């Protein structure tokens, strides 16, 4: 197959410093590098006129994200969480050892907990809840026993 690997997932952000605090300090991503580009050929690639972009790369558990801050032309769209049945990427998900501790840390880093999404499953020693990052990107937090490398429901 000609595709070699997934390189990153891009997340558009309104305030780069605020989002860095959330993803670095709150979720434990490690900063890797940043890139500043303006004009061509980036404007053609991104299909945005006169682009002025600051991209910041972070990594955790082998997954790389790219925080995209557009000084020009700015950002568009609401900062409200997307509906889970809206087309496109819906959320990022993380296994956590202590849901309460992680929620406290993420809220301090700018997350908004979506309390109505919380489920507690005492019979399974599990719980889950969604939070929204400072720009409304949904983050699922799952506390469950067992090997965190094994997806839920997998044998």
Select from 20, 42, 72 the last residue of a domain: 72
Please list, residue by residue across 111-139, b when 16 or more beta carbons sit within 10 angstroms of its beta carbon and e when fewer do.
bbbeeeeeeeeeeeebbbbbbbbbbebbb
Q: Do 147 and 92 lie in a common domain?
A: yes
The pTM score is 0.90
Residue 3 located in a structural domain: no
CA distance 95 to 40: 40
Which residues span the domain enclosing 122? 78-155
Number of domains, the chain: 2
Select from 55, 72, 89 the last residue of a domain: 72
User: What's the rounded mean pLDDT across residues 142-146?
Assistant: 90
Highest averaged pLDDT of the listed ranges 80-84, 101-105, 122-126: 101-105
């Amino acid at each position: 197959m000609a595709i070699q690997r997934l390189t990153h997932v891009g997340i558009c952000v309104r305030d780069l410093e605020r989002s860095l605090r959330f993803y670095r300090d709150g979720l434990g991503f490690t900063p890797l590098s940043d890139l500043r580009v303006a004009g061509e050929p980036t404007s053609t690639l991104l299909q945005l006129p006169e682009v002025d972009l600051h991209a910041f790369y972070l990594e955790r558990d082998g997954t790389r994200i790219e925080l995209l801050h557009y000084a020009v032309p700015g950002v568009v769209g609401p900062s409200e969480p997307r509906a889970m049945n809206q087309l496109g990427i819906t959320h990022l998900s993380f296994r956590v050892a202590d849901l309460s501790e992680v929620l406290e840390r993420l809220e301090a880093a700018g997350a908004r907990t979506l309390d109505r999404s919380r489920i507690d499953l005492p019979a399974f020693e599990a719980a889950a809840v969604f939070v929204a990052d400072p720009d409304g990107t949904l983050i699922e937090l799952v506390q469950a026993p067992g090997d965190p490398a094994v997806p839920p429901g997998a044998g």
